[in-house]
Structure 1
Amino acid sequence: MLVVFLKTTTPETSMRSTNLLLGLVPWVLFSMIAERLGADAVGYAALAACLGSLVLAVRGLRADGLKVVDAAGVVTFGVLAVAGFAAGHHVRELLVDYARGGAALVLAAVMLVSVLTVPFTEQYARAGIDRRYWESPVFRSLNRRLSLMWAGIISVMALCHLIAGALSASGGGFSSNILLNWAVPVLLVVYGVKHTDRVAEGARPTGSAS
């Protein structure tokens, strides 16, 4: 769903788009299964997303380190799975309407908090560059900006999902679901990808990294 591809050849801006895309697959998977199958399947949707995040987390640990997005997915969807299986039908209906937006808010918060430590985009970018560049001020600054941007994008998407959930709960139609749950998020992602590419194209090394 979220594809980040930095096209410059400088080490400061290297990033693997496929790895970041894979990290977001469980979040999309939960949304699709829950929406298509309804309240009775929300627990299974969350379980599938949790297992998907767990697979990615283990894969990351064996490769270049645990990604914060994968860890957040394991915890978030684990909690939703427990709620989906243990709660009654009314709660499961609420999860179908609002869990997608709630999960997106969690993801946005994780992305935002990562800016204060290690920007989440940096975790993906590290796989494509030499370790000696990891502490480069250019590399860190670029990834802080990118992580902030994606946190903002996911926050807006979460708001759209929550509005769509409220409309659905009050008898909203098919058009609001398509607009708020799919059309607007896709446009936001397209903007994010294009902006990321522009930032990468404009980035230039300012000095040698230690």
Structure 2
Amino acid sequence: MEHVCLHSLLRTPEDRTHAIGSVIKRLGEIIPGIRNELYPVTSSFGMPVYFSLERAAAPYFGIKAYGVHMNGYVEKGDQKFLWIGKRSDVKQTYPGMLDHLVAGGLPYGISCKENIIKECGEEAGIPRSISTNATSVGAISYMDIEGFRYKRDVLFCYDLKLPANFVPNNEDGEVDSFRLIPVPHAANIIRRTEFFKPNCNLVIIDFLFRHGYIHPDCRGYLDLLQSLRSGDCS
């Protein structure tokens, strides 16, 4: 089988969403980590929704998925520090690994900015009065094949400069702890270990480029820069 077709009688997004949802339920444990969270399926970002699909199933169908990721940083004198989270050991995906401060998939029916504000509250206890200052700084994209999963992701990146006295507090049970570390220390962890969740590596590397920690005199500068948008960024 080269492809999967939808029946011509499924004429509305709602009909197609319901039909696909029934298939996902029948697949059962073949698709682990069901979250009952729908992702919009479109030809490209911002285009009309053809149908919506369970988030965990997206890579099994090669569906492009979108997310919002945010680096939260603090300035002390002439130094910058990143807030780093350690994922809960009971999370379904990448348990116990390191994250940047806030991230989440982009579900159906919510804007990127509202989603990052929501995730700020849930994942780090950042009040709306602060999280509304999160600044959109671009996007990264990548493709990855692992077993039966074909991930085609576009991550919209945000920066948020936090008050020096702010301490994040997880509200949804998905983060075990937070730690504030110097940016060069975070870069060394990425360079020398595999402690970070893989796509969070990319978002922090993007931060390193934009804040001047990786510069044109660094070996492999252009190759690394290009790799941050190696996927279909549409």
TM-score normalised per structure 1: 0.27
Going by fraction, where is helix more abundant, 1 or 2? 1
Going by fraction, where is strand more abundant, 1 or 2? 2
TM-score normalised per structure 2: 0.25
